[in-house]
Chain A
Amino acid sequence: MGDPGTTPPSPDPRVGLRAGVTDAGEASWNLRLISNTPQPEGFVGVTNSDLAFSGDLVFQGNYNGFMVWDVRNPARPALVTRYLCPASQSDISVFRNLAFVSGEGTSGRLDCGTQGVSDPVSADRLRGIRIFDISDVRNPRYIANVQTCRGSHTHTVVVDPNDQDNVYIYISGSARVRPEQELPGCSALAPDEDPNSALFRIEVIRVPLANPQESRIVTSPRIFSGLTAPPRRDAEGNVTQALDRPGPNQCHDITVFPDVGLAGGACEGYGILLDISDVMNPRRLSAVADANMSYWHSATFSNDGRAVLFTDEWGGGSAARCRDTDRYEWGANALFTIEDGEMVFQSYYKMPAPQTAVENCVAHNGSPVPIPGRDVKVQAWYQGGVSIFDWTDPAKPFEIAFFDRGPLDAERLRSAGPWSTYWYNGYIYSSEIARGFDVLELLPSGFISRNEIDAAKTVIWSEYNPQMQVQMVWPASFSLSRAYLDQLERSRGLPQPRIDSLRMELIRIEGMPVAQRGNLLTQVATQLGPEAGASSDAAKVGLLVQSLQALAGAQQ
């Protein structure tokens, strides 16, 4: 028998859940659904897509436009805005008073009409980025477009720390190049036949903040040029030699991490590591391929930027790829460490519960959960539900929480499930393709203590677009120091009696008048410092000491 707090329920309650739209069976473990709010009229029966966050507002894309939810009360999200303007996928980002929406499908119209565009070449078609002024979020103003040759499947807002006047957008898309008659200059020829080919490049849009109407494509970096096929791990783990063949011609998604100057490009059959210290001219550092990875979809970095995880959206999200006949390493995440700019394979992680043949299921969008001192990710798996896992050691990821519903339809595969599931300011928000908007809460368990969750909730952002990762920094708090103590207990990094006495000490100090706490905390930190040397988890003892010193400094 393992520790009951860390033993997954058996049999797995995600297997055999009842089908239904509003009355499907539900299974959860260490995670609680707080609310489900169906999408409003005009969006019902139409795919919900990605999420973005600003203050108390959550922006949710839908193939018919976008919605804005006020989540001050997460048990009852209130609809603030619904904006009808069809485009697939309508992935949405926010930056201060601006919102950006991706349009890729051939039916998107410049005038936001719902009738589609039937001509193969048409002046009415929008494929690219729509730009809205959301100064008055109840009345978004559609102020500009940037049309691109391949449309925008997804996009990434990028802040250049050295440029206060502009924000940048990297466009990703895997759809076909549109005809030159529709958008002059678009060419689908190979680059050696036409140097202006829209293939083998990404687009960088510059948005002047004072004048967003002037947004335009400023560079089209050929981040793949000179890319020979990278060394490739075959299914048995052997690395085979690089060959002189052209690499991918487009990325599905790019996750940027400006705090560490890196980006992870998920580009067709490859994962690509980019140096983005020059935002307009990203430079490829390295690339990997893997026989088990079909279609590289998106990336998440560890908080220190020393590991990266790529997802494989095998089948594009419309297929059932979590049946008990589907392999664990297919349609999964691949985890890598980053060593001298090269990615080194460590392991795969896939939501482990077998799903039915009528549930579309594959790795999809997620975000880091700000548990201090650890790397934890919450991730959407379509009808495979939500899975939270620890990948602090990229060689040994393990699941720590989940939430899942039964199929939307018992008889046939109809698209549903979480598209994107992200942690933001203390709660987990999930865009359910068919069932609306979910809010969930992470519960304490043997894997994650109450103190660790409380510390996670001290990380508060004013805005968040998950494709732009932000390095998490934890303000000093009693919860933070206690979280590190809990982790030291788990790793047996300090003797149990020492942990118990430190806990008692913290309780005592927190009960004292604020003016006296500083000195006492400093004393505890000073005493503890030298003990790191004898600990098997010296780095964590160091983090605890630092957190106590910072807490001492914060007691005024």
Chain B
Amino acid sequence: MQGMIPHHAQALRMAALVPDRSQRREIRVLAERMAVAQGDEIELMRQWLGDRDAEVPPADATHMRMNHGGMVHDMLMPGMLTEEEFTELAAARGDDFDRLFLTRMIQHHLGAILMVDDLFASPGAAQEDFVFKFASDVYADQTTEIRHMNVMLSRIP
């Protein structure tokens, strides 16, 4: 959950780029839908962590905070864009933007699926119904969206 929040937060930042940069109606709809869905999920995750007195990353966290033997360092979760990649996306326009947005968002979604896979492979994980359902919903929603995005991508000349 602590890693998924910055992951979702970056998807929101990416989606926020769309209205000024894409002319494609279906990409604009996709981005609006993602903004609603992932924004809601961030609040659910923050609530879940808060209930367990765990550290709650801010809703706009950019990195996962890892504590290794007293050494705190920031890391990017799987599929996340580096700041350079994000800047490159923000600078693109038109078809170039659409192509890059979909490519990077597919990569971003695949990262979320990887995180769910890791969760289920961990001993004692996802025993709680909420966590199982949440992780399964992320898995199902994002695999479905990847398929849609692949279709959209192949339509861009």
Contact = CB atoms under 8 A, between A and B. Distances in A.
Interface string A309-353: 000001110111100001000100000000000000000000000
A407 interface: no
Interface in A404-462: 412-413
A175 interface: yes
Given A120-B123, A412-B47, A176 B116 contact: yes
A289 B132 CA distance: 27
B148 interface: yes
A245 B129 contact: no
Interface in A96-143: 104-107, 116-120
B50 to A, nearest CB: 10
Contacts of B125: 120
Interface residues of B, number: 41
Interface in A250-278: 252, 268-269
B123 A295 contact: no
Interface string A221-253: 000000001001011100010010111110010
Interface string B113-150: 00011001111111111001110110111011101101
B26 A291 contact: yes
A47 B127 contact: no
B13 interface: no
A174 interface: yes
Contacts of B143: 249, 268
Contacts of B71: none
B73 to A, nearest CB: 28
Interface stretch (B3-11, B15-23, B33-41, B85-93): B33-41
Contacts of A243: 151, 154-155
Given A105-B129, A106-B120, A246 B147 contact: yes
B44 interface: yes
Contacts of A63: 129
A88 interface: yes
A319 B25 contact: no
Nearest to A247: B147
B129 A318 contact: no
16 contacts: A106-B127, A107-B132, A120-B120, A174-B140, A175-B139, A176-B139, A235-B25, A246-B147, A247-B147, A248-B147, A268-B140, A269-B144, A294-B37, A294-B141, A294-B144, A319-B44
Interface of A: 47, 63, 88, 104-107, 116-120, 174-176, 229, 232, 234-236, 240, 243, 245-249, 252, 268-269, 289, 291-292, 294-295, 314-316, 318-321, 326, 330, 412-413
